[in-house]
Amino acid sequence: MSFPRLARDLADVGRRFYERGWVLGTSGNFSAVASARPLTLCITPSAAHKGKLKAADFLPIDDAGRVRGRTRGKPSAETLLHLEIVRARGAGAVLHTHSVWATMLSDRHLADGGLAIEGFEMLKGLEGVSSHQHREWVPIVPNDQDMTRLSALVRDVLRKDTAAHAFLISGHGLYTWGRTIAEAERHVEILEFLFEVVGRSADLRT
Amino acid sequence: MSFPRLARDLADVGRRFYERGWVLGTSGNFSAVASARPLTLCITPSAAHKGKLKAADFLPIDDAGRVRGRTRGKPSAETLLHLEIVRARGAGAVLHTHSVWATMLSDRHLADGGLAIEGFEMLKGLEGVSSHQHREWVPIVPNDQDMTRLSALVRDVLRKDTAAHAFLISGHGLYTWGRTIAEAERHVEILEFLFEVVGRSADLRT
Amino acid sequence: MSFPRLARDLADVGRRFYERGWVLGTSGNFSAVASARPLTLCITPSAAHKGKLKAADFLPIDDAGRVRGRTRGKPSAETLLHLEIVRARGAGAVLHTHSVWATMLSDRHLADGGLAIEGFEMLKGLEGVSSHQHREWVPIVPNDQDMTRLSALVRDVLRKDTAAHAFLISGHGLYTWGRTIAEAERHVEILEFLFEVVGRSADLRT
Amino acid sequence: MSFPRLARDLADVGRRFYERGWVLGTSGNFSAVASARPLTLCITPSAAHKGKLKAADFLPIDDAGRVRGRTRGKPSAETLLHLEIVRARGAGAVLHTHSVWATMLSDRHLADGGLAIEGFEMLKGLEGVSSHQHREWVPIVPNDQDMTRLSALVRDVLRKDTAAHAFLISGHGLYTWGRTIAEAERHVEILEFLFEVVGRSADLRT
């Protein structure tokens, strides 16, 4: 798919996520692979309003996170994490969101190193999962403002938890991905749904 | 009503349910009877985004769950459950949704075999119910990836609980139906409302 | 204001309330005074979808609840309650909604005969209230399918609690009113907001 | 930016906040600086529906809170608070909202004089904050219908808590600001998100 088409599709994702309150206050960032060799990522600019993205706002970056060609604009601060995921998983699209339930669960389960979700039909929306009996382990990495350090942590998690469809950063939010933008968006919807179920169920147990 | 008209009406239902978060991540499926003899069901294709359905996406299936005429597309995996309901209840439309509250309640009350809802004015939105004093029993069947086994369970429940307007599959979601698409949609709205009331009330009691 | 204009404004109110989930499953009903002498009420038809109302759906009824002129259509079953409110309060518009929080609070506080709300700035949105220190008493009447009996109960409450801006019917929903449709809609928004605040605060206290 | 452009941008903010339920029942008010010398504020009229604002509804007021030029319309009752904030912070825009979570938290933490929020990535959406380890102190002032007294309280808080990006009025709502309307809107989204996280987490701890 062409760069403008990917940018337009990611802008549409932004509008839907903004309406659900998953990318408030310019939070979150999105990318898609526009070219595999040499690697070019179509990525959201830094600090943009995610409900009002236009295709022209998106930036082409190379495999070191530098803006290709033109110099206008600054890519998302978390560009390096997108590149780690593309490299480790061969993802075609990476989506990062900040929801209330993901923020809460990522804090509450940080000490456990992750969160297990099991027994729900919705798990079948995750690529390759064929039964509700699947146990999805969502690793949680501690938050860090040093992107080099955080990238290294993420790289380790992606290597160790090879079956994971996503990871959380504590007090921060969700990263998930897919072969296509549609698959990555489906993963966000599935995981946010399950976070709400798990979060509300914990309310009941206490 | 013609097949294209039913397909368009079901696509509209999909948009409304998607906005409320009841069919996230391509979950849920919808059908309507396009012809009674021979039975033809207009049904959602497998794994479709329920907020972006177009009339042309829908498939005509026969009473064995096979796609009629053309071979393009694959019907929802849960087609057999739709057929069980149409046969047992003479339904004109069947709607299946995955909401947060239905997921939670269907797990919590599985051991009881179902969930009783009683005393609410909203119950009168269920066809044939004329008083809030009505006691609606919503049977819950355990989830199963084997559709033949799950169909048999559903058939038993529909035979046993003849007054039920709906059933839940544990950790999975809601099935309800009506003579028309509008009646089935009304049943979804009524039941999802009541699930939220019952779910939140339980929060208070603990 | 003319009958068609009132009908259009009430249809718009219906769309907004439907989006917020306050009139799901064809629940709720709305009216406005089209003529004072002889009394003509512009009212929603029975069992209509409140998110899809058209001006032509509304019915003109007289002070006994009979449809004027044409015979097509059937007014809301709760027409008598609208007439009681118009007579007792000189209201120009009456709105009835079914929300999750109103349903829960009307059950929980039925034994107290009502619910006191005090100390919130939002109370100033109720007509004539000029301080957050105002104590609003929302009477609760038990639900009844016999409209003559329920009307009598409502008449008593309106006579006794002359300062009340609204009342609840247990397990059922909210009735409020205003001189205009806009004022009545403002009252619904204010009260639903406060019900959610009071309901969630109770969650915290248990 | 011109007065009509500021008015149009504030009207758009109103529509978005209305959809999220942050300015129900005509609550809330918004302003932006149209001219610095002499000071002219573009402000919402008193008691307007925040989801239906038109640019022509906005009023120009001077540094004493009087409407400039024309006499039609009445500015928001809380105009004096907007002026205090513009003077103390050099703000270009001031936004005031009434949400369920802000109402609850402003009551619950009034005795502490404020609410500390710490450890969340979303804090970085507040101007000048560069780490999730930031501790944001949101002062809470008791509500008062006497605007002169309340203004004096707000002036004191703005002088004392010079790092604060916002303050709460108890049982009432949020005031925040920014150099531009976009920055102020971002602050509202960030703070409302964090209030919900903090409020729901408290539910879990009890």
pLDDT tens for D173-194 read 999 999 999 999 999 999 999 9
Angstrom distance (rounded) from CA B87 to CA A127: 33
Neighbour count for residue C198 (Cβ, 10 Å)? 21
DSSP B160-204: H-TT-SEEEETTTEEEEEESSHHHHHHHHHHHHHHHHHHHHHHHH
State the best of B50, B81, B100, B108 to mutate against chain A, taking most chain A CBs within 10 Å: B100
Q: How far is Cα of residue C74 from the mean position of the Cα atoms in its chain?
A: 19
How much is the ipTM here?
A: 0.95
The neighbours of chain D, by the rule of 3 or more Cβ pairs under 8 Å, are A, C
pLDDT band at A202 (very low <50, low <70, confident <90, very high): confident
Return the amino acid letter for B180. Answer: T
**Taking a C-beta distance cutoff of 8 angstroms, is the pair A62, A38 a contact?**
yes
Specify the 3-state DSSP secondary structure of C157.
helix
Tokens 């629940």 correspond to what residue? C27
For D84-132, the pLDDT digits (tens) are: 999 999 999 999 999 999 999 999 999 999 999 999 999 999 999 999 9
Cβ distance B169 to A122 less than 8 Å, yes or no, reads no
Per cent of chain A over pLDDT 70 is: 97
The neighbours of chain C, by the rule of 3 or more Cβ pairs under 8 Å, are B, D
CA dist B161 → A25, B84, B117, B127, D101 (Å): 49, 14, 15, 15, 42
**Taking a C-beta distance cutoff of 8 angstroms, is the pair A47, A28 a contact?**
no
Angstrom distance (rounded) from CA A91 to CA A45: 20
CA dist B154 → B1, B141, C68, D89 (Å): 28, 7, 49, 65
Residue in C176, C189, C182, C175 with CA at minimum distance from that of residue C19: C189
For D129-185, the pLDDT digits (tens) are: 999 999 999 999 999 999 999 999 999 999 999 999 999 999 999 999 999 999 999
User: How many CB pairs below 8 A link B and C?
Assistant: 61
Residue in A159, C43, A17, D21 with CA at minimum distance from that of residue B51: A17
**Taking a C-beta distance cutoff of 8 angstroms, is the pair C6, C34 a contact?**
yes
Does C71 score more than 70 pLDDT? no
Pair of tokens at residue C180 = 């205009």
The partner residue sitting opposite C201, judged by closest CB among D27, D104, D145, is D104
Residues of A whose CB is below 8 A from D204: 104, 108, 202-203, 206
State the best of D22, D101, D120, D136 to mutate against chain A, taking most chain A CBs within 10 Å: D120
Neighbour count for residue C27 (Cβ, 10 Å)? 24
Return the amino acid letter for D47. Answer: A
Return the amino acid letter for C65. Answer: G
Pair of tokens at residue A53 = 């993205």
Per cent of chain C over pLDDT 70 is: 97
Cβ distance D120 to A172 less than 8 Å, yes or no, reads yes
Residues of chain B with pLDDT under 70: 70-71, 203-206
Residues of A whose CB is below 8 A from D128: none
- Tell me the pairing of strands A135-141 and A166-169: parallel
Cβ distance D21 to C193 less than 8 Å, yes or no, reads yes
CA dist D101 → A44, A150, D98 (Å): 30, 32, 9
pLDDT band at C77 (very low <50, low <70, confident <90, very high): confident
